[in-house]
Structure 1
Amino acid sequence: MMDHLASTSDTPSPVSTPAQTETIVLVGLMGAGKTTIGRRVATRLDLPFVDADVEIERAAGCTISEIFTRHGEPAFRDGERRVIKRLLQGPPCVLATGGGAFMDTQTRILVRQHARSVWLRCALPVLARRLSGRQGRPLLAQGDHKTILAALQAVRHPIYAEADIIVDCGDDSVDTSARRVLEALEQHRHPVRVPVQLDTHRYDVTIGADLISRAGAFLAPVLPQKRAIVITDRNVAALHLPRLMTALAETGVEARDFVVPGGEESKSLAQYGALIDDIITAGIERRTTVIGLGGGVVGDLAGFVAATVLRGVPFVQIPTTLLAQVDSSVGGKTGINARSGKNLIGAFHQPLAVLADSSALATLSRRERVAGYAEIVKAGLIDGVELFAWCENHGAAVLSGDPAALAEAVRRACLFKAGVVQADEREQAAEGGRALLNLGHTFAHALEASFGYDGRLLHGEAVSIGLHLAVGLSVRLGFCDASVLLRLDSHLRTRAMPAGLDWFADALSAEELLNHMARDKKMRDGRLSFVLLRDIGDCFTTRDVPMEIVRDFLIREGCRS
């Protein structure tokens, strides 16, 4: 046993750990203590301990040094990969790997699929002292230990940082280091992944706590190159940008940030043009990834930049609002506003990945949670009774900011939207399809336009009112029973959400709202598309709604003529 890891106690102090059903893979440079700490962790978890190097020597019938001497490092790495694959496909264990094992791309993929990885991070002076004078390390036989270790750190640390968990190990005892690993394992939760499988592209919506702090670990495996442009707004930058930039740097991703003003005004041609010029001047390549960090405005703007700069570059969404996490970040719609209306300039551009950090939602006000929750209610009305009933049972917890309820709401909404997008990616279905996601939005966009997108009315607040109006119009036209409207209004109003035009202090102009609707991008052959309901879970699109009926309906709802 290494002196620096000598145990301070023959009897390990107990640490509460969950039952282990997956292999724990320890990675790190030589001398980090993977074998010594790994044995102690395995004992505490009641799992077998396996040393990959020992298994490699057993399979090869000779020592690792002899493999290097006779066949070279490439042959050793090939055998190492095959041995680790076999071990990962076996029963759960604590597996200590060689310092170079995790550097292999295929091995990292296998580890992500079958195990939880823990990087035992150790400072260079500590490693150099531990390995001083030791034999049997082929890579250290080529020169000065400290120089070689420094070179290995520079290359390997950004890859080790892709591990699920990072534990710093210095001159602590075996017990202390093992306890840190066990505590980290107990606290770690694999994020939930919602796959979006399209005809020509696939990506995951990853949902979990504190994802921004580990964004590099999640994104490095999917980025075409380790270069990125981060677009965010001033408000989000103050809250989350430093953590993101640190996380990207940790995995060797070179990133530059571009900060725009907050608010809908940033989705303008002027802001878009200035941003494009700044990014091109700073230097961007076709394989550089644009990352949108923020709410729906930032996501739409950053996505449109990614769709158009250099005729299209990779894109990643890191939504930080509930509305963006449950709706706008999923599906590939990007765009900016024109003077005539919202999102009239845009493109479909699917992301490489979406990271929905549930911890970021803790910074939101209740008003912002209401805005996002309206989109979840919309999903419930479209999807059916089960999701809507979930909203009725858990909506109060979501709006109060309960972390578990928020995370589950995001998961359910993303699962719903992924299914819709997969079936009709570009909203080309003759009936229904992705167009159903516009439920309430024909009214909502008109309401937003009437307030000039100045922040007095949030998009989600407009959607909440729009849902009431869409269901109300369905009742007015005889498609839907009035009990559905009563159920929706009861749900919205008991949670102090906007549920009608009476939410506004002053009556709006029906004529002005109709004029805004006439400029809606869903207009076709002079006829406006509405999404209406027959019942919860039974929505449909129609262009056969006379505008005179809509005008009369708006006046009955409280508009002035």
Structure 2
Amino acid sequence: MSRLPSNPTSVSMPAAALPSGVGPSGILVLIGMMGVGKTTVGRRLAQIYGIPFVDADAEIERAAGCTISEIFARHGENAFRAGERRVIKRLLQGPPCILATGGGAWMDAETRRLVRMHACSLWLRAPVHVLLKRVHGRGGRPLLAQGDPKEIMSRLVGLRYPVYAEADVIIDCGDETVEQGVRRVQEALSELQKPLTVPVTLASHHYDVLIGPDLISRAGAWLAPHLPQKRVVVVTDNIVAELHLPRLLNSFAETGIQADVIAVAGGEESKSLTCYAQVMTQLLELGIERGTTIVALGGGVVGDLAGFVAATALRGLPFVQIPTTLLSQVDSSVGGKTGINAPSGKNLIGAFHQPIAVLADSSALATLPRRQRIAGYAEIVKSGMISDPELFAWCEAHGADVLDGDPAALVDAVQKACVFKAAVVAADEREQAKQGGRALLNLGHTFAHALEAELGYDGRLLHGEAVSIGLHLATALSVRLGLAPVADLERVDAHLRKLAMPAGFDWFETPFSAAALLAHMSHDKKMRDGLISFVLLRGIGQAFTSRNVPMDTVRELLLDEGCSG
């Protein structure tokens, strides 16, 4: 970029409001190497948006009463960085502005944290040769005065660019004019959409679920602040790897995160002791440390498997969920339940192991077939049926949009479901409440798990499809027991069938055996004192748990629904 004219007002452009994506503080922080044009671009942006331009270096000199070169000479770089951090902290607590920072400011972890909390960061990125051309002949660059400028600049770029890449926005700069560069910044800011954030706050742990488009492409930037060390092992399946792994690995490389990959076969079969042993063996052969983070990229199967591996390797590794199906985004990725299947039942081997972050990339849902969206949507319906009648009504109004893949409806659905589940998990993290609590999330699951087990987890019935049938059966059982009104069963069935979702045994060509399904229920992990736990309804939004359900009544229901004896 060329420098601005000496009289900035000679370039006229109508004032514009700072885009909402910048955030409520209205502070835009420019970061980048010396010579990239932060001051030049920042002054022009301040003109356009009608807010002050503030140069952090000038503020530091004002506070110290001497130049930056003099601070370096008298006190050294560490003292300068400490003062820089204090000045930037003060500026971030002030009114809206365009704030240009020194090239090393963003390298301070505390400064990055403060900027993330209070402002929007934008990195002006340029190659070394462009930077050298712009700083040539200019004084006041203490770092470049310590040797060969090209060698120093190249070394600084190598150190700083992976950290700069954690910025909210990245703009590449070359030989374009100032106005061209500023227009590109404006365009990027106008398109900026920070992800929705759903906090999950537990007694001894906190993490955020981020929801929005294209999060995988910037996963490195979102995750870097949370990683104990810049090393991860991605666990994924072969199908998801082809669709999304390159973008994820690129984002890690950009932010200097070392990444290894372990891929498994797609499908429920990978949630087995055999696959668990294979993954664990590969993981340990990589020479992992306790700061190495396991990243699950995929649907619920990958998330459950990778989470259990993370929970048990070296007695517990940090864990990140990047769910790529609607089902995993609204359910399995949030809450810390991990596990694998046993021959006698689903999820019987597992552990509670909370992630350090969840990235729910709504763009990934565009690759899903409708069947997969149905599977995820059933869990959203379930949430409304448990204790949120307004959410169920939202489903009735917008469910068709979700299943049609409407981007806005999908983001809204994921957020609503995650808010609901986060509240339930926070109140009962390990499912220990004697009544209700997290166990309510199993509405329909006692039936669903029995159906899946009877089919051998072979893919003929997706988990969410089994839950959809289970919602019908749980409501029908509640009606049969005289707990819920028939009108609510009719309402649930009408909604499911209107969207062509499974709502009974007529979904299958051959009948199930009631005796076989009851036998599978007897192996459910929610058994206590030999009694099967059911989640029942007193109406939509009024779920409760019960261990006093006569099994003869359950058998009669299954027979009346079309099962054989």
TM value normalised by structure 1: 0.98
1:323 partner SS: helix
**SS of residue in 1 equivalent to 2:226:** coil
Residue 155 (structure 1) shift: 1.0
Paired with 1:91 and 1:305, the residues of 2 have a C-alpha distance of 47
- Paired residues of 2:27 and 2:92 also in contact (CA < 8 A): yes
Partner of 2:362: 358
Residue 174 of structure 2 corresponds to 170
- Structure 1: distance between partners of 2:51 and 2:417: 38
- Is the 2:221–2:255 contact (alpha carbons within 8 Å) kept by the matching residues of 1? yes
1:238 corresponds to which letter in structure 2? E
TM-aligned CA deviation for residue 331 of structure 1: 0.3
Corresponding letter in the other structure for 1:404: A
Q: Distance in 2 between matches of 1:28 and 1:266?
A: 45
- Secondary structure at the aligned position of 2:133 is classed as helix
1:494 partner amino acid = K
- Among 411, 421, 433, the alignment partner of 2:415 is 411
* Residue of structure 1 in register with 2:96 after alignment: 92
In 1, Cα distance between equivalents of 2:3 and 2:445: 64
Question: Structure 1 residues 320 and 518, CA, compared in 2 at 3 Å: closer, same or farther?
Answer: same
Residue pair 2:16, 2:48 contacting (<8 A) in 1 also = no
- In structure 2, what residue type is equivalent to 1:271? C
Q: Distance in 2 between matches of 1:534 and 1:454?
A: 34
- Residue 552 of structure 2 aligns with an amino acid whose one-letter code is E
Question: What letter is aligned with 1:239?
Answer: L
1:559: which partner in 2?
563
Structure 1 alignment gaps of length 5 or more: none
Map Cα deviations across residues 16-64 of structure 1 (whole Å, 9 max, x no partner).
7655651000000101110001111111112211111111111111111
1:298-356 deviation per Cα after TM superposition (whole angstroms, max 9, x unaligned): 00000000001111111000000000000000000000011111111000000010000
Q: Distance in 1 between matches of 2:15 and 2:322?
A: 35
Other-structure match for 1:150: 154
**What is the CA-CA distance between 1:10 and the residue it aligns to?**
5.1
Match of 1:376 in 2: 380
1:98-109 equivalence runs, <5 A: 98-109=102-113
The yes-or-no answer on 1:322 pairing with 2:321 is no
Work out whether 1:125 is the aligned partner of 2:117. Answer: no
Q: Which runs of 5+ in 2 are unaligned?
A: none
RMSD between aligned residues: 1.5
1:231 aligns with 2:228: no
Q: Which amino acid aligns with 1:516?
A: H
What code does the residue aligned with 1:503 have? W
Q: Which residue of 2 aligns with 1:367?
A: 371
For the pair 1:334 / 2:338, whether they are aligned, the reply is yes
Could you say which residue in structure 2 is the equivalent of 1:444? 448
Matching residue of 1:391: 395
- Contact 1:6–1:174 (CA under 8 A) maintained in structure 2: no
Per the alignment, residue 32 of structure 2 pairs with 28
Provide Cα deviations, 1:482-528, integer angstroms capped at 9, x if missing partner: 11101111111111111111111221111111111111111112110
Alpha-carbon distance in 2 for matches of 1:56, 1:484: 66
Match of 1:261 in 2: 265
Give 1:133 shift. Answer: 2.2
Residue 535 of structure 1, CA deviation: 1.3
Partner of 2:523: 519
Q: Who is 2:296 aligned against?
A: 292
**What residue identity is the alignment partner of 2:462?**
L
1:490-501 aligned within 5 A: 490-501=494-505
Query: Contact (CA 8 Å) 1:230, 1:255: kept in 2 or not?
Result: yes
Runs of 4 or more above 3 Å deviation: 2-21
Matching residue of 1:203: 207
1:456 aligns with 2:464: no
Please state how far the C-alpha of 1:383 moved relative to its aligned partner. 2.3
Deviation string for 1:162-198 (max 9, x for gaps)?
A: 1001110111110111111111111011111111111
- For residue 177 of structure 1, give the secondary structure of its aligned residue in structure 2: helix
- Tell me how many residue pairs correspond in the alignment: 560
For 2:82, give the aligned amino acid.
D
CA contact (8 A) 1:5 1:33 kept: no
Map 1:48-59 → 2, pairs under 5 A: 48-59=52-63
> Which amino acid in structure 1 is aligned with residue 390 of structure 2?
E
Q: Is the aligned partner of 1:485 residue 2:505?
A: no
| Corresponding residue of 2:429 | 425
Please report the TM-score for the alignment, with normalisation by the length of structure 2: 0.97
**Structure 2 residue aligned with 1:61:** 65
Q: Deviations over 1:125-162 (max 9, x none)?
A: 11111112221111111011111111111111111111
